[in-house]
């Protein structure tokens, strides 16, 4: 039998932190690490398997022979098995063969901390390290300003497997190819950030990455780990932040994954009522187990530390917070106070956010949380969950419902659109039009719009214009920015050929210009989470289906006045009250010819008059185009 040399990267302090759930950089200890010991080159392996009675490393360096390289168990009740194997090295494929003390159950597992995984359908881990030299120092130095809550934050959500494919070669684009094409496109579109649907290794393409098996490995579908670093680096060099989708809510039951890892419920909660997702047929992490908390928080820190990520969008937070999530009576057990909240998950999320913001105060965590759970984006110190932002799912639902109605009926649903302002400042909200809204028969964004072709495109432009001027940050899923006609299909490339047609090209130009407007006008971002940053002029003109409002920055001179006409009937000489006298200049019009609009309803310099209206001393007459938005600001 080959020798496994006793060696450890753990100190007693590491072990104490791990056991108490406070070790946030476990990736420096666990997993496989290329090491030279007494002049001999090899690999140090460490894995947590407390129910095991034997753990051996099987790999291509020992012809996958079980028991050839048995790891040594630590005698400190940590459940860690470790050892140094001479001869293994970078590129070695391996798994852990675990014989459990629980009924002699045998499992064969990928390394939970592996830095690289085999390309699916193969499932082995790969010993890896890289010496990538980052070139994003300029971004990292100033990103605190770019990622701040009072900065423009416009996000382009991307599924790397379907954004653009090499059709002629029937393959994905690589990280390296995307570092050119995708980065340049996001820059040309003037988005400030990109959000990548999960890039952590996953076995099943139809899961879109949300069923993770390799939490510390960028998926090998698109290339090597250092090539993913290159993609991040290129985004940063072009002043674009990168948000990663992160899934601490559940994981799949695949044989090589985390489930039943050492013949026991190790990472998952042992009680099926807390440990199994019926909707997704997946397992739920045991948030009350200290070692699992350390694993997950270390994973969050890993992507910020090793891959320079600018934050996370945390998936399915609602499913974590509620014990009765998608469960019938009798299928869940109340918490110790008789409530439905998952106290252990709440505690974990608070610890995770505190750890992230303590180590990286210049990033953001964003919760995809679909309920009215309070204080999601409030500091932990005052009882909040500590996220930087929360997706505004209520706004998304009400807005899409409103815009899907024929314009003739909209006057009966004026409140559907104005309602969001009753709770818009209870959280730091991001407005999402995400991948979830364009799949499973929900139609594309364009497909949701009513009317003939011209009206559908005008409605879409109006929806986006309203979105970008509503308080909060923005997120738009790939394809929506040029009015993709069909639903998103993860198997195929976006319909880029549509850009040869004027209506689609017009929507794309509109998004470019809306991103420019958002970043240029302080009133649209400085107080985007502050009640002082918004004021209605009038939301009560249901008969005309018109909404008028003011967005405010830190200085009065930066005020932006916005008018939205939700009908195809132009509103000429439409009178609105204004905050003060002066001259108003049109700075945006969604009906311009370059957007495939009519181009007929432009406002030049509009002078206010001392004619009281909307409870204000001064007013102005403006033209609002059909199914259009116009924005103004005061000029000297």
pLDDT band of 167, cuts 50, 70, 90: confident
Over residues 167-182, the mean pLDDT reads 94
Largest CA distance in the chain: 95
Q: Is 611 labeled as catalytic in the residue annotation?
A: no
Closest C-alpha to 212, from 114, 310, 287: 114
Over residues 564-585, the mean pLDDT reads 97
Check whether the bond before 121 is cis (ω within 30° of 0).
yes
Mean of all residue pLDDT scores within the chain:
97
pLDDT band of 392, cuts 50, 70, 90: very high
The active-site residue out of 233, 310, 368, 559 is 368
Domain-embedded: residue 436: no
Task: Convert the pLDDT of each residue in 434-446 to its tens digit.
Answer: 999 999 999 999 9
- In 111-202, the DSSP E strands lie at 116-117, 125-126, 154-158, 165-166, 171-172, 193-196, 200-201
Distances in Å between the Cα of 440 and the Cα atoms of 31, 319, 516 are: 38, 20, 32
User: At which of 74, 107, 127 does a domain end?
Assistant: 127
State the DSSP string of 424-453: TTSS-EEEEE-GGGGSTTS--HHHH--SSH
User: Coil, strand or helix: which one is 50?
Assistant: coil
Of all helices (H) and strands (E), which one includes residue 605?
Answer: strand 605-607
| pTM of the full structure | 0.97
Ramachandran region of residue 444, left (φ > 0), alpha (ψ -120 to 50) or beta?
beta
Task: Convert the pLDDT of each residue in 120-135 to its tens digit.
Answer: 999 999 999 999 999 9
Number of compact structural domains in the chain? 2
User: At which of 87, 111, 127 does a domain end?
Assistant: 127
Closest C-alpha to 182, from 171, 195, 169: 195
Domain-embedded: residue 545: yes
pLDDT number for residue 12: 97
CA distance 442 to 432: 15
CA distance 363 to 386: 13
Domain-embedded: residue 557: yes
Domain-embedded: residue 95: yes
What tokens appear for 174 in the block?
């690589």
Over residues 66-86, the mean pLDDT reads 97
The dihedral built from the CA positions of residue 370, 371, 376 and 377, taken in this order, carries a sign that is: positive
Q: Hey, what's the torsion of the CAs at 114, 159, 389, 281, to 10 degrees?
A: -70
pLDDT band of 2, cuts 50, 70, 90: confident
Domain-embedded: residue 577: yes
Q: How many helices (H) and strands (E) does the chain have?
A: 13, 31
State the DSSP string of 372-411: --TTTTS-GGGT----SEEE-HHHHHHHHHHHTS-GGGGG
* Strand partners for 49: none
Over residues 510-530, the mean pLDDT reads 98
Domain-embedded: residue 398: no
pLDDT band of 552, cuts 50, 70, 90: very high
The active-site residue out of 82, 315, 362, 623 is 315
**Residue 594 contacts by C-beta under 8 Å, 6 or more apart in sequence?**
506, 509
Percentage of residues of the chain with pLDDT beyond 70: 100
Closest C-alpha to 210, from 196, 220, 223, 194: 196
Q: Is 315 labeled as catalytic in the residue annotation?
A: yes
Flag whether pLDDT at 282 surpasses 80. yes
Distances in Å between the Cα of 18 and the Cα atoms of 14, 100, 484 are: 6, 22, 48
Flag whether pLDDT at 451 surpasses 90. yes
CA distance 550 to 534: 6
Distances in Å between the Cα of 36 and the Cα atoms of 7, 57, 81, 95 are: 11, 18, 19, 21
pLDDT band of 277, cuts 50, 70, 90: very high
pLDDT band of 168, cuts 50, 70, 90: confident
Over residues 368-372, the mean pLDDT reads 94
**Domain span at residue 609?**
531-635
pLDDT band of 1, cuts 50, 70, 90: low
Over residues 247-261, the mean pLDDT reads 97
pLDDT number for residue 181: 98
Please, is 439 exposed, middle or buried when counting C-beta atoms within 10 Å of its C-beta (0-12, 13-18, 19+)?
Answer: middle
User: At which of 110, 127, 144 does a domain end?
Assistant: 127
Asked if 343 and 318 touch (Cβ cutoff 8 Å), the reply is no
**CATH code assigned at 90:** 2.60.40.10
**CATH code assigned at 572:** 2.60.40.1180
Please report how many Cα atoms fall inside a 13 Å half-sphere around the Cα of residue 174, on the Cβ side: 9
pLDDT number for residue 193: 98
Asked if 222 and 228 touch (Cβ cutoff 8 Å), the reply is yes
Mean pLDDT is lowest, of 162-176, 227-241, 418-432, 471-485, for 162-176
Asked if 599 and 571 touch (Cβ cutoff 8 Å), the reply is no
Flag whether pLDDT at 561 surpasses 70. yes
CA distance 570 to 564: 11
């Amino acid at each position: 039998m080959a020798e496994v040399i006793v060696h450890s990267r753990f100190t007693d302090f590491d072990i104490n932190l791990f056991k108490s759930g406070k070790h946030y950089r476990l990736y420096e200890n666990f997993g496989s690490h290329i090491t030279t010991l007494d002049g001999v080159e090899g690999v140090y392996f460490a894995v947590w398997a407390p129910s095991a009675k034997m753990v051996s490393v099987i790999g291509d360096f020992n012809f996958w022979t079980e028991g050839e390289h048995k790891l040594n168990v630590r005698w400190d009740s940590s459940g860690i098995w470790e050892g140094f194997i001479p001869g293994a090295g970078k590129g070695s494929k391996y798994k852990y063969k675990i014989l459990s003390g629980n009924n002699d159950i045998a499992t064969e597992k990928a390394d939970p901390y592996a830095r690289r995984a085999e390309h699916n359908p193969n499932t082995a881990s790969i010993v890896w390290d890289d010496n990538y030299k980052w070139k994003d120092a300029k971004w990292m130095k100033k990103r605190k300003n770019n990622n701040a809550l009072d900065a423009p934050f416009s996000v382009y959500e991307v599924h790397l497997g379907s954004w653009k494919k090499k059709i002629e070669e029937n393959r994905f684009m690589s990280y390296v190819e995307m570092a050119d094409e995708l980065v340049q496109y996001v820059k040309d579109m003037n988005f400030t950030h990109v959000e990548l649907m999960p890039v952590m290794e996953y076995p099943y393409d139809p899961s879109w990455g949300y069923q993770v098996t390799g939490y510390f490995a960028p998926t090998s579908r698109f290339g090597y780990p250092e090539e993913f670093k290159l993609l991040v680096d290129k985004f940063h060099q072009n002043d674009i932040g990168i948000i990663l989708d992160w899934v601490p809510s559940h994981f799949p039951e695949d044989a090589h994954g985390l489930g039943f890892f050492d013949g026991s419920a190790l990472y998952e909660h042992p009680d099926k009522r807390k440990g199994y997702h019926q909707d997704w047929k997946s397992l739920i992490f045991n948030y009350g187990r200290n070692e699992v908390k350390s694993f997950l928080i270390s994973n969050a820190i890993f992507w910020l530390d090793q891959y320079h990520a600018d934050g996370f969008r945390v998936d399915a937070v609602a499913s974590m917070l509620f014990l009765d999530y998608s469960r019938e009576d009798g299928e869940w057990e109340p918490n110790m106070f008789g409530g439905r909240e998952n106290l252990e998950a709440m505690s974990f999320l608070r610890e995770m956010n505190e750890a992230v913001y303590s180590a990286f105060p210049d990033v953001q965590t964003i919760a995809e949380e679909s309920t009215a759970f309070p204080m999601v984006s409030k500091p932990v110190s005052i009882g909040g969950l500590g996220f930087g932002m929360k997706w505004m799912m209520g706004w998304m639902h009400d807005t899409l419902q409103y815009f899907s109605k024929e314009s003739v009926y909209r006057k009966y649903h004026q409140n559907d659109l104005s309602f969001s302002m009753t709770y818009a400042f209870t959280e730091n909200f991001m407005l999402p039009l995400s991948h979830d809204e364009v799949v499973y028969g929900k139609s594309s964004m364009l497909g949701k719009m009513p009317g003939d072709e011209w009206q559908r495109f005008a409605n879409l432009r109006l929806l986006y214009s309203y979105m970008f001027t509503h308080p909060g940050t923005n997120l738009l899923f790939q394809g929506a920015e040029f009015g993709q006609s069909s639903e998103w299909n993860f198997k195929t490339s976006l319909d880029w050929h549509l850009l040869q047609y004027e209506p689609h090209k017009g929507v794309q130009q509109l998004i470019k210009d809306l991103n420019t407007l958002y970043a240029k006008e302080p009133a649209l971002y400085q107080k985007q989470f502050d009640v002082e940053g918004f004021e209605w002029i009038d939301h009560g003109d249901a008969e005309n289906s018109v909404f008028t409002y003011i967005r405010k920055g830190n200085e009065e001179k930066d005020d932006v006045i916005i008018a939205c006409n939700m009908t195809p009937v132009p509103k000429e000489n439409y009178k609105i009250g204004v905050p003060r006298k002066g001259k108003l200049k049109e700075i945006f019009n969604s009906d311009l010819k370059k957007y495939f609009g009519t181009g007929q309803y432009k406002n030049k310099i509009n002078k206010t008059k001392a004619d009281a209206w909307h409870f204000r001393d001064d007013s102005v007459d403006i033209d609002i185009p059909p199914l259009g938005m116009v924005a103004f600001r005061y000029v000297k």
